[in-house]
Amino acid sequence: MREHRSASANARIGRSQAADARLDQGSRALLAELGRLIEAWPGLVSRPAAELIDDSLVLAAHIADARRLVDVGSGGGLPGLPLKIARPDLEVTLIEADQDKAAFLVQAAARLDLRGVEVLAVRAEDAGHDPRYREAFDVAVARALAPMPTLVELCLPLVRVGGRLLAQKTEKEDVARAAHAVEVLGGRLGAAIGAASRARASGVIVVVEKVGPTPRAYPRRPGLPSRKPL
């Protein structure tokens, strides 16, 4: 069924497009080139890259003064690469276990000459126990990664205490069922902020604050967070 946009959704899309308009000419050119690279790589995305890039940029207003950002389950570099282009000062780590997609991320960062981008071709569960990355990031972002209980187990172990997780979801998802997982992993469930885009008229950003350290047992071994969510 086609989704109808409310007046508030249209207003949020307007704000997203206004934010895009504030990007300088060089950044807009890089975003356009990223879109071309994404669409030229077979099987990477299932809808127009420009819409997905627009969907990624709704996060830009919510990363504040973050310096280190991790994109978990990055896929085609979304939302991590558009955020890097919008905020060149960010140090961005892209976690993508699929080797073919990880190869794309390495190639795209090189083609766009983006400095301060690291690609990890590993499972998020493994990265979460690596001392180089565990509780090392100011902000984690995830787009279309997993249901919230699984997503927070994959992402929160990477976020420093005092940092935050920004999960891109839609209004349809019952975020409250992740409350137990958030608490176990050292987080506090915050607001679900309306963040519509050309790709998702009902898009929201779910904010999870990291208020305490993640217990050493988490994340659990690869595959378990999705098979047996907290």
Could you give the CA distance from residue 183 to residue 81 in angstroms, rounded to a whole number?
Answer: 30
Task: Cis check for the bond before 79: say yes or no (omega within 30 of 0).
Answer: yes
Residue type, 29: A
pLDDT band at 222 (very low <50, low <70, confident <90, very high): very high
In sequence order, which residues have a C-beta less than 8 Å from that of residue 179 and are 6 or more positions away?
A: 189
* 18 pLDDT higher than 50: no
* Cis status, amide bond into 219, omega within 30 of 0: yes
**Is 19's pLDDT higher than 80?**
no
Q: Does 7 have pLDDT greater than 50?
A: no
Name residues whose C-beta falls within 8 Å of residue 134's C-beta, 6 or more positions apart in sequence: 127, 128, 157, 158, 214
The pLDDT value given to residue 9? 41
Confidence band for 20, pLDDT divided at 50, 70 and 90: low
Contacts of 32 (CB under 8 A, 6+ apart): none
Residue 2 has a pLDDT of 30
**Under CATH, what is the fold of the domain 7-227?**
Rossmann fold (3.40.50)
Question: What proportion of the chain, given as a percentage, has pLDDT over 70?
Answer: 90
149-202 confidence digits (pLDDT tens): 999 999 999 999 999 999 999 888 889 999 999 999 999 999 899 998 988 888
Confidence of residue 22 (pLDDT cuts 50, 70, 90): low
Query: Which pLDDT tens digit goes with each residue over 27-52?
Result: 999 999 999 999 999 989 989 999 99
Q: What is the pLDDT of residue 12?
A: 42
Separation between Cα atoms, residue 118 and residue 122, nearest integer Å:
12
First to last CA, the chain: 32
Mean pLDDT of the chain: 91
Query: In the structure encoding, which two tokens stand for residue 186, read together?
Result: 């050292």
